[in-house]
Amino acid sequence: MRLLTKLATAAAGLAIFAAGCSGPGNVNVAGNGTPNSSNLNSVGSNPNREPATNSNSGANTTAQSPAMSDTDFMREAAIGGMSEVELGKLASSKAAGSEVKGFGQMMVSDHSKANEELKALAAKKNVTLPTEPDAAHKSTMTALQAKSGADFDREYVSEMIEDHEKDVAAFQDKSQNASDPDVKAFAAKTLPTLRKHLEAIRTVQAKMATPK
């Protein structure tokens, strides 16, 4: 009897141990003593664990702005071009530094030419372009008109760098991705000039920051 009792007790203990090893939250052990890999990634092994996700999924789900249409690009380019001309005129008359004045004059010359080419393109495509800068560019003009001397120069140069960085990016995109071949050609033709402007104004800013 004692032997049977001991055997029964041992069997019960083994059953409890086996149940505990295969229950939720534990890893089964294979016959070779290594963890059973099928349970390492099992969502069911932990009721509080979130389902496994691809670690790269977040990299491709960032919301991106929809691509600008060719028509919208032409209209934005018209607004930017007009603004560059008006601000260039302001700089050529108000700037304290000769290089800032010279850059303003270059803006008037180069952007007036590009604006005329854009108008011809828009007429060919039956696109109505804005006839004056938008509220944001008008606000910039007003703010610069209130400044003078070195303060004007710093603000104008900073504005030109920001504007031309955006312009280069937009024209670069359309020179490669525009649906209309004529729009693509216009962007590609104008892009080198914009890059020249950006390089020039960065040079002006660097000289302004260098102690004399």
Class of residue 167 by CB neighbours under 10 A (exposed 0-12, middle 13-18, buried 19+): buried
Range 62-87 average pLDDT = 86
The whole-angstrom separation of Cα 172 and Cα 36 is 54
Task: Please give the backbone phi and psi of residue 50, each rounded to the nearest 5 degrees, phi first.
Answer: -75, 150
Task: Look at residue 81 and tell me if it is in a domain.
Answer: yes
Task: Look at residue 97 and tell me if it is in a domain.
Answer: yes
Task: Look at residue 25 and tell me if it is in a domain.
Answer: no
**For position 66, what pLDDT does the model report?**
57
Cβ pair 85, 136 in contact under 8 A: no
Task: Look at residue 160 and tell me if it is in a domain.
Answer: yes
Task: Look at residue 177 and tell me if it is in a domain.
Answer: yes
List pLDDT tens digits, range 143-194: 999 999 999 999 999 999 999 999 999 999 999 999 999 999 999 999 999 9
Greater confidence (7 vs 76) lies with: 76
Give the amino acid at 149. Answer: G
User: Which of 52-61, 66-75, 191-200 ranks highest by mean pLDDT?
Assistant: 191-200
Structure tokens at 183: 């729009």
List pLDDT tens digits, range 109-150: 999 999 999 999 999 999 999 999 999 999 999 999 999 999
Task: Look at residue 152 and tell me if it is in a domain.
Answer: yes
Task: Please give the backbone phi and psi of residue 134, each rounded to the nearest 5 degrees, phi first.
Answer: -80, 180
CATH number at residue 188: 1.20.1260.10
Provide the number of structural domains found in the chain: 1
Task: Please give the backbone phi and psi of residue 125, each rounded to the nearest 5 degrees, phi first.
Answer: -95, 5
Three-state DSSP class for residue 29: strand
Half-sphere exposure of 41 (CA within 13 A, CB side): 5
Quote the pTM value. Answer: 0.68
Domain housing 145: 70-209
Average pLDDT, the chain: 79
Evaluate if residue 19 carries a pLDDT over 50: no
**For position 212, what pLDDT does the model report?**
63
Provide CB contacts within 8 A for 72, sequence distance 6+.
none
Task: Look at residue 84 and tell me if it is in a domain.
Answer: yes
Structure tokens at 87: 């601000």
